[in-house]
Structure 1
Amino acid sequence: MSRVNGFLEERLMPVASKVGNNKFLIAIRDGITLAMPLIIIGSLFMIIASFPIASWEAWLGEIGVADYLWKGTDSSFGLIGLVASFGIAYSLARQYKVDGIGSGIISLSAFIMATPFISSDAGAGMPVAYMGAKGLFIAIIMGLINGYIYQWFINKNIQIKLPDSVPQAVSGSFSAIIPGAVIITMWLVIYGALTSLNLPNVHDIAQVILGKPLGLLGNNVFGTIIVVGLNSLFWFVGIHGGNVVNSVMQPVWIANLDANRLAYQANEELQHIITVSFMDNFVYIGGGGATIGLVLVLGYLARKKHTSKQTKALAPITVTPGLFNINEPTMFGVPVVLNVMLIVPFILAPIVNVIVAYSALAMGLVPLTKAAASWTMPPIISGFLITGSISGSILQIVLITLDILLYLPFVLAIEKRYKALERKEESTVKKVNVDKGIVS
């Protein structure tokens, strides 16, 4: 085991660390995370509007509230692409020690610049679909390109500089003029060229270039198993797997959830099983590695009389956060990181969750997800909210039971090791006391 741990630390850790610290991946993660409150707020409006009681929905329609609730959903959930175009450029510029707000604003303008407008009697307008999940892929591409170009100009000092006596807010806005003009003009030329040649707009092109390959990986059970396995492997070597793997796949899962939302609003059949809600609330229960099974086993053992001191100390700091899907205390406290004794269930538990949950939704035993719950929402409650059915909660209970059974034999082995170490320590202390003539 020490040899395996040595190999992981010397060979895999440096590689994983470089991937985990990649500026572009961090920018994607932070930019999309910036939009997550809107997804959750929009989902709350949606849950209220579509609460699974027929008389409730009918009553909301009769009093005229339903349309306002759906308006709230469209005006929050439906803006994630727009927000991400700002957030990704903002995050990337900040990592290069450059003003992020200027970068984000320029990127937001370029995003709107590259989006085809629609005309009506009220005037030209931007399609709502492109502001939402449909625009998420081009938001990623443009956010990264725009953020990098912006920081390059600033760091190369190609900017309008005002005297130090000028307020920072004013001088900062002038600094953005040259890189902003270049970025916006560049996307305007691209938009004009595509339009004049009757080619698809940048959103449709990005959907093919980025959306299709990622969709092949993230829209089927086999690809999802690979993604989940990679997430666990990154976590195992001490890198936040969600920040690396999920930041790449999240646009696909969010787009799938948004497509389900729109289908539900239109009274059409929902199409996507694997969504961001599916991953957060059915696969990663308790956090990466589905560690809710691990912490519940620790909590159970801690209540027993002859449990090791180590387990009794770990239970309070791991169980409560674990119920809210916060597993950093578990990852570094047990620890799970670089602990060869836990690698099997840590990889296997979320994979089992994928297979069981996917099968349940595919067979129609549980409705497909159409709303998002906060990732810190405890299981059983979140299962009901994202599916609108008690069967979602029942599925979570089944998954948690399976996770407990998977972790149980491995935790018992670790507990046995804890006890052996404590007995050895007590024996050593007793021997030292005897040698010193101390009678206990």
Structure 2
Amino acid sequence: MSEKKENGFVQNTLIPLAGKMAASRHLVALRDGFALVMPLIIIGSVFMIVSQFPIPAYINWMSSVFGPNWATVVGWATNATFNIIGMVACIGISYQLAKSYDGVDALSASIISLGAFLLTIPLTTDKAGNTFVPLTMLGSMGLFEALLVGLFITDFYVWMIHKNWQFHMPDTVPPAVGNAFSALIPGFVIIALVWLLRIGIGFTFFKTIPNIITVILAKPLTAVGGTIWGALVAEFFVSFLWLFGIHGANVVGGIMAPIWLGQMGQNAAAVKANKPIPNVVSQQFFDNFVHAGGSGETISLALMMLFFAKSANLKAIGRLAGAPAIFNINEPIMFGLPIVLNPVMAIPFIVVPLVTVIITYVSMKTGIVARTMGIAVPWTTPPIISGWLATGHISGAVLQLVNFVVGGAIWYPFFKIADRQALKQEKEIADKEAAAKN
């Protein structure tokens, strides 16, 4: 297929289809709801770099100045940002969706959705008998529940409001009080149903609502283990989940970690015994080569936006996403461009890491590149450095560079499409403003 035909397919078929999807009520609510977490993600990224900057001299200096627990103290800010994005997304999605309907108080709908979301999360009890909500489940690990609750619970709430399942207060009652009473019946029905659902799932082998996705994903992923096919399947799920705002690396990593960490340990034991390294696929295979620059290897895209974008919007996102991408943090670009819920950007976001898996696996399997030695290189270590440290050989750094070039070549035409679209929108806005002034 010629370049002209490819561009024609993208411009005439793919982009109009994506436009129709993006204009749907629910996708707009997801997009705008996720936008609410952007400040938290950017602020959290800065504190994450501060707490995990991969230079021993820096870590030693921080420990000498602020004490041995300085990273934990910095982590308080990370907990206050990254670890509540699921909860904030639930509120934002529900609010934006409810706002799109007539006759519905969006704030009341979002509060009821928040209560339903918290009800899906299993509580944890410590040794002292204190019960609390795990903070991690309010963050990226809880985004799946947040997405479902924000959409389905809100639609159910709206349906009940439109069916007039509500208390009507006199017109003399302040609107805030009236809205609160209107939410009583729908809110009670929703909380009661979610409560019964949680009890019912407790009698199944799933035990908890968040376990459902884990169990569903666990069987296909564990069946293929540490093979190249397992790596491809696992990486597909990482990218696929991210496209819906779910931290795919966390979800899949939670399932595959025992396999990948076990293979990492075998590699480390072989190096210690001066034996050949047995495994290609390990935790470092993903952390330092497939996810270098973040899931989807978006560092190439971030640098293109920073240095080559013509639109002001993409340049601004590039400035925000460039520095975190160097330390393998790509949430700013995931939610800022966005890649999440973006049908066009979904194509390279899935294809690039799969190609990277194949290149990395073949290179290490054939001996062209040294295999990872089982050293737990911090995941925030910048690419090139991390490749050298993980393999103990310069070939690891070269392989990362090759992956960036190949990934960048795949990302480039989609970057150009996004840049042209953003530039066109900016010009239209500028023309409208100029016409309004005249």
TM range (shorter): 0.5 to 0.7
Q: Does the 8 A contact of 2:291 with 2:353 survive in 1?
A: no
Q: CA deviation at 1:116?
A: 2.1
User: Hey, what does 1:111 align to over in structure 2?
Assistant: 117
User: Hey, what does 2:355 align to over in structure 1?
Assistant: 355
Q: CA deviation at 1:184?
A: 0.6
Q: Does the 8 A contact of 1:117 with 1:126 survive in 2?
A: yes
Q: 2:75 aligns with which of 70, 74, 80?
A: 70
| AA aligned opposite 1:132 | G
Q: Secondary structure at the match of 2:167?
A: coil
* Structure 1 gap ranges (5+): 229-243, 300-314, 327-342, 372-380, 410-440
User: Hey, what does 2:294 align to over in structure 1?
Assistant: 278
| AA aligned opposite 1:69 | V
Q: Does the 8 A contact of 1:89 with 1:143 survive in 2?
A: yes
User: Hey, what does 2:197 align to over in structure 1?
Assistant: 190
Superposition RMSD on alpha carbons, in Å?
A: 5.4
Give me the whole-angstrom Cα distance separating, in 2, the residues matched to 1:46 and 1:12: 37
| AA aligned opposite 1:90 | Y
Q: 2:49 aligns with which of 24, 47, 50?
A: 47
Q: Secondary structure at the match of 2:294?
A: helix
Moved more, 191-200 or 1-10: 1-10
User: Hey, what does 2:98 align to over in structure 1?
Assistant: 93
Give me the whole-angstrom Cα distance separating, in 2, the residues matched to 1:122 and 1:86: 30
| AA aligned opposite 2:44 | G
Q: Does the 8 A contact of 1:257 with 1:369 survive in 2?
A: no
Q: CA deviation at 1:316?
A: 8.3
Matches within 5 A, 1:381-420: none
| AA aligned opposite 1:125 | F
Q: Secondary structure at the match of 2:37?
A: helix
Give me the whole-angstrom Cα distance separating, in 1, the residues matched to 2:120 and 2:314: 48
* Structure 2 gap ranges (5+): 225-229, 266-281, 322-343, 365-370, 414-438
Q: Does the 8 A contact of 1:283 with 1:353 survive in 2?
A: no
Give me the whole-angstrom Cα distance separating, in 1, the residues matched to 2:349 and 2:204: 51
Give me the whole-angstrom Cα distance separating, in 2, the residues matched to 1:347 and 1:70: 34
Q: CA deviation at 1:404?
A: 8.2
CA deviation map 1:268-321 (0-9, x unaligned):
9956546696247x337447xx9659x84xx9xxxxxxxxxxxxxxx6879956
Give me the whole-angstrom Cα distance separating, in 2, the residues matched to 1:385 and 1:92: 45
Tell me: CA distance 1:278–1:405, structure 2 relative to 1, closer, same or farther (3 Å): closer
Q: Does the 8 A contact of 1:104 with 1:147 survive in 2?
A: yes
Q: Secondary structure at the match of 2:125?
A: strand
Tell me: CA distance 1:117–1:352, structure 2 relative to 1, closer, same or farther (3 Å): closer
Q: CA deviation at 1:171?
A: 2.0
Q: CA deviation at 1:191?
A: 1.7
Give me the whole-angstrom Cα distance separating, in 1, the residues matched to 2:202 and 2:116: 16
CA deviation map 1:331-384 (0-9, x unaligned):
xxxxxxxxxxxx9xx98899568635985699669998846xxxxxxxxx9969
CA deviation map 1:180-232 (0-9, x unaligned):
1111111111122233567511010133457988999xx9557878999xxxx
Q: Does the 8 A contact of 2:301 with 2:408 survive in 1?
A: no
Does 2:180 correspond to 1:165? no
Give me the whole-angstrom Cα distance separating, in 1, the residues matched to 2:40 and 2:22: 26
Does 2:117 correspond to 1:102? no
Tell me: CA distance 1:112–1:5, structure 2 relative to 1, closer, same or farther (3 Å): closer
Q: CA deviation at 1:90?
A: 2.1
Q: Does the 8 A contact of 2:144 with 2:246 survive in 1?
A: no
Q: Secondary structure at the match of 2:131?
A: strand
CA deviation map 1:82-110 (0-9, x unaligned):
22332222232223343332222111111
Give me the whole-angstrom Cα distance separating, in 2, the residues matched to 1:316 and 1:7: 23
Does 2:208 correspond to 1:206? no
Corresponding pairs, count: 341
Matches within 5 A, 1:166-181: 166-181=173-188
Give me the whole-angstrom Cα distance separating, in 2, the residues matched to 1:3 and 1:254: 38
Q: TM-score, normalised by structure 1?
A: 0.57
Q: CA deviation at 1:160?
A: 2.0
| AA aligned opposite 2:95 | Y
Q: CA deviation at 1:394?
A: 9.3
Matches within 5 A, 1:2-21: 15-21=17-23
Q: Secondary structure at the match of 2:28?
A: helix
Tell me: CA distance 1:32–1:394, structure 2 relative to 1, closer, same or farther (3 Å): farther
Q: Does the 8 A contact of 1:40 with 1:77 survive in 2?
A: no
Give me the whole-angstrom Cα distance separating, in 2, the residues matched to 1:107 and 1:65: 37
Q: CA deviation at 1:249?
A: 5.9
Q: Does the 8 A contact of 1:214 with 1:249 survive in 2?
A: no
Q: Does the 8 A contact of 1:81 with 1:135 survive in 2?
A: yes
Give me the whole-angstrom Cα distance separating, in 1, the residues matched to 2:378 and 2:24: 32
Tell me: CA distance 1:178–1:23, structure 2 relative to 1, closer, same or farther (3 Å): same
User: Hey, what does 1:248 align to over in structure 2?
Assistant: 244
Q: Does the 8 A contact of 1:224 with 1:354 survive in 2?
A: yes
Matches within 5 A, 1:268-417: 272-273=286-287, 278-279=294-295, 282-283=297-298, 285-286=300-301, 296=308, 324=319, 351=351, 355-356=355-356, 370=379
| AA aligned opposite 1:71 | W
Tell me: CA distance 1:226–1:112, structure 2 relative to 1, closer, same or farther (3 Å): closer
Larger radius of gyration: 1
Give me the whole-angstrom Cα distance separating, in 2, the residues matched to 1:408 and 1:42: 28
Give me the whole-angstrom Cα distance separating, in 1, the residues matched to 2:32 and 2:181: 26
Give me the whole-angstrom Cα distance separating, in 1, the residues matched to 2:213 and 2:119: 15
Q: Does the 8 A contact of 1:25 with 1:248 survive in 2?
A: no
